[in-house]
Chain A
Amino acid sequence: MKIDSGSTAWVLASAALVLLMTPGVAFFYGGMTRAKSVLNMMMMSFVSMATVGMVWVLYGYSLAFSDGGGLNSFIGGLGDWGLVGLETSATTDDGSGIPSLVFVAFQATFAIITVALISGAIADRAKFGAWVVFTVVWATLVYAPIAHWVWFFGPEDGEGGWIGAGLGALDFAGGTVVHINAGAAALALALVLGKRKGWPRDPMRPHNLPFVLLGAALLWFGWFGFNAGSALGANGTAAVAFINTLVATSAAAFAWIVVEKLRDGSSTTLGIASGAVAGLVGITPACAFVTPLGAIALGLVTGAVCAFAVSLKYKLGYDDSLDVVGVHMVGGIVGALLIGILATTAVNEAGADGLLAGGGVGLLGKQAVGVVATLAYSFVVTFIIGKIIDMTMGFRIGEEDEVAGIDSTSHAETAYDFGGIHAGAGAAAPLPSAKVADSAPTKVEA
């Protein structure tokens, strides 16, 4: 196997960075829930690492990134199931690529986080078993096909998925595949499950804003692997993606807190964390196609638009609990469309010229097609999957369990024990079935 060792090292590190984003999402979302449901929220992200990781190796990678024969425009085949035969192959034969398994691992972390992102829409109320089933079915029927549409390129020009290779729409690191996809799916699930009891009348304030900031920080850190790693090499394209991931995020975080200051009177920690994530989402599809100045413009627009988009749910009446739609779907759409305006081949010959670089409106049109196709497919198929799960096993916990708190009713745990009245002697004692009792000496009758 002939490979480029520098590129291999960078993509290996990037895969680990992207995997760290999923616990990052867990903290980002977990801090935003109420104290009685933080564990369930974090568990929904973590379990995606458990299920989707296996799905990806078993057949998910194959469905997304192998040749699908007659259906190749829409879905891959099962030729690479179990990664059988990939152990000694590389992405290219001339020694400029990386081992196939490194690419598989890198892409696995994308599938995992995309599923985890959806969970923010259904905080506090989803039956855990139903969510576990959903992660497997959704990764198979929604994520793998869309990844194939956008990111599978065959050996010949124009061969591969219909959006990327066929149409020529650009998505460097996952604006459509990851963010619009997760956002549209989140909207569908929020509609299937319905509003939380008491929403929007009761205040459902974030219980731990430092967690939210910690999660946003882990996401920003990991996102350098997500975007710059998507160059699949240690090269100039990775450098462009890296600096743009930095500065677009700066701009979006700044834009969000300025909007807050002007609209609400105070700049908030939740706002700066949300703005940073919105900026990361926005720059994702565009990171290797725009200049750093273009990235600042993109970040400012995305941050400001998303700061307003999160209020939509109150007007439209859907309980997207943690704003997956307002941040990921809207941010993804803004980023994907701005490629059509800001992209320039001056930074990356593999890209295209947008409106401002003299490329006309052609690219913008292609971007719009990619966006609409992803939105429509993800929303419709997710809605159907959600409905079927709801009708067969039930997707929502009982009202009483929801009010009492999903952590204790679904997971038999609570997140916090800060002392106080309930921590004293007698408040919690091991059940007779627990080990402590078993090991106690038994009385022997004389």
Chain B
Amino acid sequence: MKLITAVIKPFKLDEVKAALETFGVKGLTVSEASGYGRQKGHTEVYRGAEYKVDLVPKLRVEVLVDDADAEDIIDVIVKAAQTGKIGDGKVWAVPVETVVRVRTGETGAEAL
């Protein structure tokens, strides 16, 4: 199993969610995040005083998937989240050792 994490632009959430549902992903976790990459924040001006805002608001989407599906799902996310402009975010996957469904106690692929 793999944990896929995607950091995306907040307004892209609906498209990413829809694309994952169409693919057949049964569940995901979304949380608010802030950070920066090459985009490096932006500048705001208040009464003539400039402020550098380094941390840009993003959403972190996490999905637990079967090894076989991982590459396809990453493709799905990237396609849905892409605008082509700087600041689109990143997607990565890491191996997962154990997964347990809390309600039933099922483990492994059964629990996804």
* Chain A residues engaging chain B, CB cutoff 8 angstroms: 200, 203, 205-206, 260, 263-266, 268, 270-271, 274, 307-308, 310-311, 314, 323, 326
Which residues of A sit under 8 angstroms from B50, Cβ to Cβ? 264
Q: Which of B40-48, B65-73, B87-95 contacts A (4 or more CB under 8 A)?
A: B40-48
Size category of the B interface is: 10 to 19
Partner of B48, one of A205, A206, A260: A260
Determine if B46 and A268 form an interchain contact, defined as CB atoms under 8 angstroms apart. Answer: yes
Considering the complex, give the chain B residue whose CB is closest to the CB of A271: B47
Cα A260 to Cα B46 in complex, Å, equals: 10
Determine if A203 and B53 form an interchain contact, defined as CB atoms under 8 angstroms apart. Answer: yes
Determine if A264 and B53 form an interchain contact, defined as CB atoms under 8 angstroms apart. Answer: no
Residues of B54-84 whose CB lies within 8 A of A: none
* Chain B residues engaging chain A, CB cutoff 8 angstroms: 44-53
Which residues of A sit under 8 angstroms from B47, Cβ to Cβ? 270-271, 274, 307, 310-311, 323, 326
B80 nearest CB across to chain A (Å): 26
Determine if A311 and B48 form an interchain contact, defined as CB atoms under 8 angstroms apart. Answer: yes
Determine if B51 and A264 form an interchain contact, defined as CB atoms under 8 angstroms apart. Answer: no
Cα A164 to Cα B2 in complex, Å, equals: 81
Cα A200 to Cα B53 in complex, Å, equals: 15
Cα A271 to Cα B49 in complex, Å, equals: 11
Which residues of B sit under 8 angstroms from A274, Cβ to Cβ? 47
Cα A307 to Cα B48 in complex, Å, equals: 8
Task: Pull 24 A–B residue pairs with CB atoms less than 8 Å apart, ordered by A.
Answer: A200-B49, A203-B51, A203-B53, A205-B44, A205-B46, A205-B51, A206-B46, A260-B45, A260-B48, A263-B48, A264-B45, A264-B50, A265-B45, A266-B45, A270-B46, A271-B47, A307-B47, A307-B48, A308-B48, A310-B47, A310-B48, A311-B49, A314-B49, A326-B47
Cα A308 to Cα B47 in complex, Å, equals: 9
Inter-chain residue pair count (beta carbon < 8 A): 33
* 7 interchain residue pairs of minimum CB distance: A203-B51, A264-B45, A310-B47, A311-B48, A270-B46, A205-B51, A270-B47
Cα A310 to Cα B47 in complex, Å, equals: 7
B88 nearest CB across to chain A (Å): 24
Which residues of B sit under 8 angstroms from A266, Cβ to Cβ? 45
Cα A266 to Cα B45 in complex, Å, equals: 8
B7 nearest CB across to chain A (Å): 19
Cα A101 to Cα B46 in complex, Å, equals: 43
B101 nearest CB across to chain A (Å): 22
Considering the complex, give the chain B residue whose CB is closest to the CB of A203: B51
Determine which residue in B44, B46, B47, B50 has the highest number of CB atoms from chain A within 10 A of its CB, and name it.
B47
Cα A205 to Cα B54 in complex, Å, equals: 13
Name 18 extra pairs, CB < 8 A, besides A310-B48, A323-B47. Answer: A200-B49, A203-B51, A203-B52, A203-B53, A205-B44, A205-B51, A206-B46, A263-B48, A264-B50, A265-B45, A266-B45, A270-B47, A274-B47, A307-B48, A308-B48, A311-B47, A311-B49, A326-B47
Determine if B44 and A264 form an interchain contact, defined as CB atoms under 8 angstroms apart. Answer: no
Considering the complex, give the chain A residue whose CB is closest to the CB of B53: A203
Which residues of A sit under 8 angstroms from B46, Cβ to Cβ? 205-206, 268, 270
Which residues of B sit under 8 angstroms from A205, Cβ to Cβ? 44, 46, 51
A275 nearest CB across to chain B (Å): 10
Considering the complex, give the chain B residue whose CB is closest to the CB of A259: B48
Determine which residue in B45, B48, B51, B52 has the highest number of CB atoms from chain A within 10 A of its CB, and name it.
B48
Cα A123 to Cα B51 in complex, Å, equals: 19
Determine which residue in A206, A264, A271, A311 has the highest number of CB atoms from chain B within 10 A of its CB, and name it.
A264
Which residues of B sit under 8 angstroms from A308, Cβ to Cβ? 48
Cα A266 to Cα B50 in complex, Å, equals: 12
Which residues of B sit under 8 angstroms from A200, Cβ to Cβ? 49
Cα A263 to Cα B46 in complex, Å, equals: 12
A220 nearest CB across to chain B (Å): 18
